[in-house]
């Protein structure tokens, strides 16, 4: 089966005051219909840039797609016209953002905003679109949806606003739904509701979901497959259970064991020392080397490739040499 | 990208200066203003001529007599002498008025913004009272009531222009006092006065510095306006006075009003360029470029 | 063990802006009769969602927010009764670490001055002693002394949090209030700071009042845990008892909502306890139990009668139908 969305060797570069830096380097990912791909990593690792590239929303300048391809059902999104991209956005590709307050327009009611999104892509009148919007609000679990549709964003709570965003995103039944840290701004009980909702929506609509998060717990609950990113590269990719139970790359191992889990206390957390290096200071070697306990001369001289040398693909010299 | 750690200690002020230096219009402003200030200093301390002395025939055009390059005015006084000696009082009045504006505005604005409640209410009502007064008229009344010396003129300008600064300061203080480092200062037992002066105001400084710079320009224009209306200090040569006393003959001779007018324009313009440059330099969003 | 801090019936009210020109000024009770004890050398976690009043309760405890009523007995002395000057003196014993490492440090001061300032204010030691102490503190929290003359913006989030901790430790406090100290940090950095806080607690015998929304973090750091909802403590217990045998439906919901590596999509997990809706606004709290609107077990009595904290095993729980 060929994948619904296929990112192949994507390279994205940004012009900064430090010169041109590579924000994404040979990123290859695939997502199938009805599947959730979790993309995980610390801030600055390239997760959000990947999402924006797929949506064709890389701010340009300063950014540009410098190589590779993004294929949606065979169509290369890096080569289509802006008009075609606009038609795809919202209809085939939709995105949910971290901060639902700033992604909704404060001067229109939420019902009108959803109706507007529907009318952009479907030939229906406003009355019909508004009725559809109310049905969608009902679908995403908003109580008394016909009244809520006439509310303005500021009259809703954070959780409800995120539900509105989801309703708007799925209004045209997109084939790919990108959720960029959709629950980071929400309380934990509300986060659980949103996760459950996203899983339900996926069952109903069969959309492929790309979930961008820094939270391994969210990955565990939501993802079928996981890609771990670090400094603009995918460093490990496999089924969620494989990554969570048998992490290969030292960074993935660190990410999993540094979480203070509910099941234990008092033991010292494993630390990953240091911070993610700034992109303009990446050298020829492995970007993780300066934080890694398994570093040797080879790690400093060449970037490891994402290949399978054991359980599943990981970009690490130490794994590939059988040192860990 | 945000985690970039530079190991060269660079203070916020130094970083702003680095930004400022790259701003070409602002640097032009600095150069022009420096020339004006240097010429004024030279005129005040080293120039031997007397701007009141009648030295030549009235209304001699510029370039005719080699010793009076810029010509003479309606009484036959040297315009160049007037420019270089009148610059000092003009700039001094501008700077003094701006200083008075800043002192009153920052003090009241900081108190209102920090304490809030009835203090804020009272101070803001006072501010509004001064803000709705027609400024030029009020300054004219002040200068007429008291004798028109440089000091009263500076005071009058300061008294009518502080409300804006007070509002700006108040808004900044209200924003900053909610930040955690202010709570941190309270948590280590700092008194209110220390928090206002040593924690909040230094962080509110960038927009206030910009505003002070622009206030200097406005004050110079104000002084010129008062002098033009004949309310300047008649015993002190200033650019405004030169324009004021020559304005009746503007159709006969353009130069006695044009040169001091040009001097005022260049001063205010360069001060504005510097103010804009400072504004950009202090703006962290532009700094990343 | 001796009781360091004994908070009794602490209540905090905020007066909201007038509604309309001559309307009444509504009063919001952010913290409602909260009582807890903290023993020397232990850490008490206060857990809750936004609007639960957890941060306000902690701030009122150290008088950075004015309490309406109640007592805060710190080392035998009621902090709420002290005059301003006496309270300023007391501040050397109670210090604070903030959530946002970006806004908690004065951007215009060098970090050495930030860490030294408490000693300047309280006139502790000679200038040389102060300088030496700043260097020691820097090493203690894992920073290098050659970074002393830098400005806050030159540090990463985790490093700034270390500076904030160093500043809090300057006066040798007995109680450290930690307000969501790691929630703004990346997970890998979180672990560094949590380990540091655990080490400092053991080495210096510090007591923590630890505010967090993250149960995993609280479990890692705290000996006792209090769960707050809408200004009230709904459950309080030693750590193991709270996590292993939660009694209040809200605690149970929180535990089952927190993302966990044990729940896998591949195995088709089902949340044991699901609650709907958002945390309600504290402006008009329900008359009976605060949790009634979202509670899966709510009965008629829950709407009418406010439950009080009662012992149930090792837990103290405010619920008509615990367990």
- Give per-residue pLDDT as tens, B225-241: 888 787 878 888 888 88
Give the C-alpha separation, B54 to B76, whole Å: 5
Assigned token pair, A87: 């038609």
Cβ neighbours for B207, distance < 8 A, ≥ 6 positions apart: B168, B172, B279, B282
pLDDT for A11 equals: 94
C-beta separation of A164 from A104 below 8 A: yes
Q: Bridge-partner residues for A308, per DSSP?
A: A313
3-state secondary structure string across chain A? CCCCEEEEEEEEEEEECCEEEEEEEEEEEEECCCCEEEEECCCCCCHHHHHHHHHCCCCCCCEEEEEEEEEECCEECCCCCHHHHHHHECCCEEEECCCHHHHCCCCCCHHHHHHHHHHHHCCCCHHHHHHHHHHHHHHCCCCCHHHHCCCCHHHCCHHHHHHHHHHHHCCCCCCEEEEECCCCCCCHHHHHHHHHHHHHHHHHHCCEEEEEECCHHHHHHHCCEEEEEECCEEEEEEEHHHHHHCCCCHHHHHHHHCCCCCCCCCCCCCCCCCCCCCHHHCCCCCCCHHHCCCCCHHHHHCCCCCEECCCCEECCHHHHCCCC
pLDDT for A265 equals: 55
pLDDT for C47 equals: 94
Long-range contacts (CB closer than 8 Å, 24 or more residues apart) made by A145-153: A148/A110, A148/A111, A149/A109, A149/A110, A149/A111, A149/A114, A150/A109, A150/A111, A151/A109, A151/A110, A152/A106, A152/A107, A152/A108, A152/A109, A152/A110, A153/A100, A153/A101, A153/A104, A153/A105, A153/A106, A153/A110
The nearest alpha carbon in chain A to C50 belongs to A187
Cβ-based contacts of C92 with chain B (< 8 Å): 189
Q: Is the predicted pLDDT of residue A22 greater than 60, yes or no? A: yes
Confidence (pTM): 0.83
CB atoms within 10 A of CB B34: 11
Cβ-based contacts of B7 with chain A (< 8 Å): none
Q: Is the predicted pLDDT of residue A234 greater than 70, yes or no? A: yes
Q: Is the predicted pLDDT of residue B85 greater than 70, yes or no? A: yes
Q: Is the predicted pLDDT of residue C6 greater than 90, yes or no? A: yes
Among A120-134, A275-289, B72-86, C17-31, the minimum mean pLDDT is found in C17-31
Percentage of residues of chain A with pLDDT beyond 90: 34
pLDDT for C273 equals: 79
pLDDT for C54 equals: 93
Q: Is the predicted pLDDT of residue B8 greater than 60, yes or no? A: no
Give the C-alpha separation, B254 to B62, whole Å: 10
Name the minimum distance, in Å, from the CA of B189 to any CA of chain C.
5
Q: Is A271 on the interface with C (CB under 8 A)?
A: yes
Q: Is B180 on the interface with A (CB under 8 A)?
A: no
Among A285-289, B142-146, B172-176, the minimum mean pLDDT is found in B142-146
Give the C-alpha separation, B180 to C55, whole Å: 13
pLDDT for A264 equals: 59
pLDDT for C1 equals: 62
What average pLDDT does this structure show over B68-80?
83
pLDDT for A59 equals: 83
Cβ-based contacts of B1 with chain A (< 8 Å): 44, 278-279
Nearest to A9 by CA among A31, A28, A29: A28
Instruction: Note the pLDDT tens digit of each residue in C63-122.
Output: 999 999 999 999 999 999 999 999 998 999 999 999 888 889 998 889 999 999 999 888
> CB–CB of A215 and C213 under 8 A?
no
Q: Is B229 on the interface with C (CB under 8 A)?
A: no
Give the C-alpha separation, C182 to C101, whole Å: 9
Q: Is the predicted pLDDT of residue C198 greater than 70, yes or no? A: yes
Q: Is the predicted pLDDT of residue A109 greater than 60, yes or no? A: yes
Q: Is the predicted pLDDT of residue C46 greater than 90, yes or no? A: yes
pLDDT for B6 equals: 39
Average pLDDT for chain A: 88
Maximum distance among all alpha carbons in chain A? 67
User: CA distances (Å), A33 to each of A1, A240, C265, in order?
Assistant: 10, 17, 16
pLDDT for B289 equals: 40
What average pLDDT does this structure show over C115-133?
90
Helix (H) or strand (E) holding B39: helix B24-45
Cβ-based contacts of A24 with chain B (< 8 Å): none
Assigned token pair, B137: 């008229």
Of the two residues C280 and A64, the one the predictor is more confident about is A64
What average pLDDT does this structure show over B107-128?
93
CB atoms within 10 A of CB A264: 12
Give the C-alpha separation, A63 to A73, whole Å: 25
Average pLDDT for chain B: 85
> CB–CB of A44 and B289 under 8 A?
no
What sign results for the dihedral spanned by CA atoms C120, C126, C130, C133?
A: negative
Percentage of residues of chain A with pLDDT beyond 70: 97
Cβ neighbours for B132, distance < 8 A, ≥ 6 positions apart: none
Give the C-alpha separation, C129 to C117, whole Å: 13
pLDDT for B3 equals: 37
Q: Is C176 on the interface with A (CB under 8 A)?
A: no
Q: Is B12 on the interface with C (CB under 8 A)?
A: yes
Cβ-based contacts of B181 with chain C (< 8 Å): 103-107
Cβ-based contacts of A275 with chain B (< 8 Å): 3, 5
Q: Is A154 on the interface with C (CB under 8 A)?
A: no
What average pLDDT does this structure show over B206-231?
85
C-beta separation of C120 from C112 below 8 A: no
> Which ipTM was obtained for this model?
0.83
pLDDT band at B190 (very low <50, low <70, confident <90, very high): confident
Q: Is the predicted pLDDT of residue B7 greater than 70, yes or no? A: no
Average pLDDT for chain C: 90
> CB–CB of A188 and C254 under 8 A?
yes
Of the two residues B208 and B52, the one the predictor is more confident about is B208
Name the minimum distance, in Å, from the CA of B287 to any CA of chain A.
10
Name the minimum distance, in Å, from the CA of A14 to any CA of chain C.
22
pLDDT for B286 equals: 53
Among A26-35, A154-163, A234-243, the minimum mean pLDDT is found in A154-163
Maximum distance among all alpha carbons in chain B? 74
Q: Is the predicted pLDDT of residue C178 greater than 80, yes or no? A: yes
What average pLDDT does this structure show over C284-311?
90
Helix (H) or strand (E) holding B43: helix B24-45
pLDDT for A115 equals: 92
> CB–CB of B2 and A279 under 8 A?
no
Percentage of residues of chain B with pLDDT beyond 70: 94
CB atoms within 10 A of CB C9: 12
């Amino acid at each position: 089966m060929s994948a619904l969305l296929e990112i192949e060797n994507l390279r994205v570069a940004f012009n900064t005051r430090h010169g041109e830096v590579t924000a994404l380097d040979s990123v290859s990912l695939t997502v199938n219909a009805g599947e959730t791909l979790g993309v995980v990593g610390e801030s600055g690792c390239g997760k959000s840039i990947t999402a924006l590239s797929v949506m064709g929303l890389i701010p340009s300048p300063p950014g540009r797609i410098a190589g590779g391809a993004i294929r949606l059902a065979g169509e290369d999104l890096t080569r289509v016209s802006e008009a075609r991209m606009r038609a795809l956005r919202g209809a085939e590709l939709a995105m949910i953002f971290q901060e639902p307050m700033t992604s909704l327009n404060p001067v229109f009611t939420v019902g009108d905003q959803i109706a507007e999104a529907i009318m952009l892509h479907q030939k229906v009148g406003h009355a019909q679109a508004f009725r559809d919007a109310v049905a969608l609000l009902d679908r995403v679990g908003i109580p008394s949806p016909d009244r809520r549709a006439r509310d303005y964003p500021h009259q809703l709570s954070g959780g409800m606003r995120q539900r509105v965003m989801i309703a708007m995103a799925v209004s045209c039944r997109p084939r790919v739904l990108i959720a960029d840290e959709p629950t980071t701004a929400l309380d934990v009980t509300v986060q659980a509701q949103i996760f459950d909702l996203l899983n339900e929506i996926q069952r109903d609509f069969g959309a492929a979901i790309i979930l961008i998060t820094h939270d391994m717990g969210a990955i565990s609950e939501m993802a079928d497959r996981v890609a771990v990113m670090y400094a603009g590269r995918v460093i490990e990719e496999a089924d969620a259970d494989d990554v969570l139970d048998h992490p290969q790359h030292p960074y993935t191992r660190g990410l999993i064991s540094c979480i203070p889990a509910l099941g234990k206390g008092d033991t010292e957390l494993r630390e990953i020392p240091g911070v993610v290096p700034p992109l303009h200071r990446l050298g020829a070697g492995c970007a993780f080397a300066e934080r890694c306990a398994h570093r040797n001369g080879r790690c400093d001289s060449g970037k490891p490739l994402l290949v399978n040398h054991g359980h599943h693909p990981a970009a690490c010299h130490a794994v590939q040499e059988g040192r860990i | 990208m945000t985690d970039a750690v530079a190991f060269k200690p660079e203070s916020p002020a130094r970083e702003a200066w680095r930004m400022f230096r790259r701003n070409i219009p602002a640097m032009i402003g600095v150069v022009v203003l420096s020339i004006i200030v240097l010429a004024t200093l030279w005129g005040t301390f080293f120039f031997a001529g007397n701007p009141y002395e009648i030295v030549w025939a009235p209304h001699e055009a510029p370039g005719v007599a080699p010793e009076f390059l810029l010509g003479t005015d309606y009484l036959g006084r040297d315009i160049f002498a007037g420019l270089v000696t009148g610059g000092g009082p003009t700039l001094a009045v501008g700077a003094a008025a701006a200083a008075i504006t800043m002192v009153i505005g920052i003090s009241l604005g900081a108190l209102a913004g920090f304490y809030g409640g009835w203090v804020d209410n009272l101070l803001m009502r006072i501010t509004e009272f001064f803000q709705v007064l027609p400024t030029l008229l009020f300054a004219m009344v002040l200068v007429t009531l008291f004798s028109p010396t440089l000091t009263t003129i500076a005071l009058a300008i300061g008294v009518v222009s502080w409300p804006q600064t007070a509002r700006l300061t108040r808004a900044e203080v209200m924003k900053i006092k909610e930040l955690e480092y202010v709570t941190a200062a309270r948590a280590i037992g700092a008194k209110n006065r220390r928090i206002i002066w040593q924690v909040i105001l230094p962080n509110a400084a960038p927009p206030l510095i910009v505003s002070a710079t622009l206030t200097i320009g406005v004050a110079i224009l104000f002084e010129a306006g008062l002098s033009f209306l004949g309310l300047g200090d008649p015993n002190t040569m200033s650019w405004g006075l030169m324009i004021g006393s020559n304005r009746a003959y503007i159709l006969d001779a353009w130069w006695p009003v044009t040169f001091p007018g040009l001097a005022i324009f260049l001063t205010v313009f360069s001060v504005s360029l510097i103010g804009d440059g400072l504004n950009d330099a202090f703006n962290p969003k532009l700094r990343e470029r | 063990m001796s009781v360091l801090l004994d908070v009794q019936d602490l209540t905090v009210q905020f007066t909201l802006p007038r509604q309309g020109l001559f309307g009444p000024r509504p009063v919001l009770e952010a913290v409602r009769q909260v009582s807890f004890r903290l023993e020397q050398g232990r850490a008490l976690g206060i857990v809750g969602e936004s609007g639960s009043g957890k941060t306000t309760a902690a701030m009122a405890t150290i008088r950075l927010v004015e309490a309406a009523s109640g007592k805060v007995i710190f080392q035998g002395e009621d902090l709420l009764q002290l005059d301003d000057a006496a309270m300023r003196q007391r501040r050397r014993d109670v210090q604070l670490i903030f959530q946002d490492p970006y806004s908690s440090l004065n951007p215009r001061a060098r970090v050495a001055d930030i860490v030294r300032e408490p000693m300047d204010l309280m006139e502790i030691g000679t200038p040389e002693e102060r300088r030496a102490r700043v260097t020691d503190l820097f090493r203690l929290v894992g920073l290098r002394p050659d970074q002393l003359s830098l400005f806050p913006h030159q540090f990463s989030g985790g490093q700034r949090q270390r500076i904030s901790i160093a500043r809090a430790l300057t006066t040798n406090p007995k109680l450290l209030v930690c307000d969501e100290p790691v929630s703004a940090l990346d997970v890998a950095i979180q672990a560094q700071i949590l380990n540091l806080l655990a080490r400092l607690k053991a080495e210096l015998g510090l007591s923590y009042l630890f505010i967090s929304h993250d149960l995993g973090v609280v479990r890692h750091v705290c000996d006792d845990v209090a769960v707050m909802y809408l200004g009230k403590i709904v459950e309080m217990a030693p750590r193991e008892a709270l996590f292993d045998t939660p009694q209040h439906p809200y605690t149970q919901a929180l535990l089952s909502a927190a993302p966990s590596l044990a729940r896998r999509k591949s195995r088709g997990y089902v949340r044991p306890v699901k609650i709907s809706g958002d945390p309600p606004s504290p402006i008009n709290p329900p008359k009976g139990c605060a949790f009634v609107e979202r509670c899966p077990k709510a009965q008629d009595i829950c709407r009418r009668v406010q439950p009080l904290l009662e012992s149930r095993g090792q837990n103290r729980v405010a619920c008509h139908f615990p367990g």
